[in-house]
Amino acid sequence: MQQATPPRRELGDQIAINAAHARHELASCLSRQIATLPPKYFYDTQGSKLFEAICELDEYYLTRTEARILSQNLAAIAQRAGADVALIDLGAGNCAKAFKLLARLRVRHYVPVDISTAFLSEAVKTLAQAYPDLEIHPVALDFSERFALPAAVQALPNKLFFYPGSSLGNFSPVQARLFLETLRAAGGDLLIGLDLVKPAAMLEAAYDDALGVTAAFNRNVLRQTNHLLGSDFDLASWRHKAVFNADHSRVEMHLQAATACHVSWPGGGRDFAAGETIHTENCYKFTCTGIEEMLHSAGFSDIACWSDPDDAYLVCHARAG
C-alpha cells in the first residue's frame, strides 16, 4: 500500500519541500562514502537570483543560444503547438523564458512550476501585470522527487511541457528517460532545450566563470543546507570546482574543502579531509542522435529540432501521441 505523501509547505521563503524529508535526505547524502548534495537545494530565493546572474554571464552561452533558437523558430513552434495551449513551464524561475513565448504562441493557460516558492510568487505577479487576460496557475513543486500536477492542471487540454535550459541534464540518463516517460504519460507535448557536447574548455568555463558567480551559487547550497539541516558549514572554507567528465559526457560541479574540517548537524556529523569534495551537480551534455533516440524511447514521436549555426545547442518539439 502506498503511504500518504506528507503535506508540503514553504520553509520560510525558501523552497517547497517537506522539512523532515529534507533533513533526512541531506544527512543521508552527506554521509555517503563520496558526499553529495542534491542540486535542487541550490534554488532558494538567493540561489535563484544568483542563477539569474549566471544566465547573463559571457561564459554561460546556454541561455542566450537557446533564446536565439527559440526566437528564430517561434513561427514553426507555434504552428506545431496549435491553439489554446496550456504551457507548463518546468523550473520556471523568473518566467523570463516563457515570457517571450507567450506573445507568439496561442497560450490560454500558463502553469509555472518551480521549487522556489517566494521567487515564483514574485515572478507571477510581474507576469500577471503584463498579461492580465492570461489564466495563470502557479505550482510550487519539487518535481525531482515526484511529478504530480494538480487535478485542474492535469485536466487542461493541449498541454505543452516547456523544459528549457538543458535542465534535463541534471538527471542521470536513466532518470532523464523516466522523467520524459512521466511527461508523456501526463498527456502533453514537449518543447525542450538541450546542450550539446563541445570542447571541455568551453564547457568548464560556462560552469566556472571569471567573476565567481557560479562559485557563489555552488557555495549557496551549503548555506541552504545549514538552514534546513542545522549543520555548521563554513562557506568560506569551501572552493568551487567544475570539470568535464568526458567518459560520462557531463560537467560535474563539486565543493572542495580548503582545509581539514569537521561538519556537525543534529544527530550526526562528518570529518572532511583537505581537498575532499562534495559532489553537488551533474550537467549531462548530449548529441543530436542521442536526443532523438532518448525522446523516441520515452514514447514521443514526430520530433522537430532546431539548432544554432555552431551546433552548440538544440531545441526540440515532440508529440506525446
The answer to the question of residue 254 being in a domain is yes
Do 186 and 223 sit in the same domain of this protein? no
Do 157 and 214 sit in the same domain of this protein? no
Do 178 and 232 sit in the same domain of this protein? no
**Confidence category of residue 17, pLDDT binned at 50, 70, 90:** low
Please state the φ and ψ torsions of residue 200, each to the nearest 5 degrees.
Answer: -60, -40
SS3 assignment, position 20: helix
Q: What is the pTM of this model?
A: 0.89
Do 91 and 165 sit in the same domain of this protein? yes
Do 272 and 293 sit in the same domain of this protein? no
SS3 assignment, position 287: coil
Number of domains composing the chain: 2
Specify the DSSP element, H or E, that contains 295.
Answer: helix 288-297
* pLDDT at res. 296: 97
Cα(256)–Cα(241) distance, integer angstroms: 7
Cα(106)–Cα(266) distance, integer angstroms: 51
Lowest mean pLDDT of 27-31, 62-66, 96-100, 280-284, name the range: 96-100
Residue 11: is its pLDDT beyond 90?
A: no
Neighbouring residues of 201: CB distance < 8 A, sequence distance ≥ 6 = none
Do 94 and 33 sit in the same domain of this protein? no
Containing structural domain, residue 96: 73-196+286-319
- Asked whether the beta carbons of 272 and 257 are under 8 A apart, the reply is yes
Lowest mean pLDDT of 1-10, 240-249, 259-268, 274-283, name the range: 1-10
Q: Choose among 117, 106, 190, 111: nearest CA to 150.
A: 111
Q: Average pLDDT of 188-198? A: 97
* pLDDT at res. 5: 33
* pLDDT at res. 308: 97
Lowest mean pLDDT of 87-96, 117-126, 178-187, 272-281, name the range: 117-126
Q: Report the CATH number at residue 149.
A: 3.40.50.150
Please state the φ and ψ torsions of residue 215, each to the nearest 5 degrees.
Answer: -60, -45
The grid coordinates of residue 252 equal 560535474
- Please state, rounded to an integer, the average pLDDT across all residues of the chain: 91
The answer to the question of residue 104 being in a domain is yes
Q: 248-270: per-residue pLDDT in tens?
A: 999 999 999 999 999 999 999 99
Cα(122)–Cα(127) distance, integer angstroms: 9
The answer to the question of residue 310 being in a domain is yes
Do 128 and 190 sit in the same domain of this protein? yes
Beta bridge partners of 239: 256
Tell me how crowded residue 185 is: count the other CB atoms within 10 A of its CB. Answer: 12
Residue 228: is its pLDDT beyond 90?
A: yes
The answer to the question of residue 4 being in a domain is no
Do 192 and 126 sit in the same domain of this protein? yes
Do 89 and 136 sit in the same domain of this protein? yes
The answer to the question of residue 65 being in a domain is no
The answer to the question of residue 1 being in a domain is no
The grid coordinates of residue 34 equal 563520496
Residue 2: is its pLDDT beyond 60?
A: no
Q: Who has greater pLDDT, 16 or 136? A: 136
Q: Choose among 67, 75, 62, 76: nearest CA to 100.
A: 67
Percent of the chain with pLDDT over 90: 77
What are the E-state strand segments in the chain?
85-90, 107-114, 135-136, 139-140, 159-163, 188-195, 238-245, 250-257, 261-265, 268-272, 277-284, 301-307, 313-319
Do 280 and 290 sit in the same domain of this protein? no
Residue 221: is its pLDDT beyond 60?
A: yes
Tell me how crowded residue 150 is: count the other CB atoms within 10 A of its CB. Answer: 11
The answer to the question of residue 105 being in a domain is yes
β 159-163/188-195 pair status: parallel
Do 152 and 295 sit in the same domain of this protein? yes
The answer to the question of residue 12 being in a domain is no
Beta bridge partners of 6: none
Q: Average pLDDT of 28-35? A: 97
Do 112 and 256 sit in the same domain of this protein? no
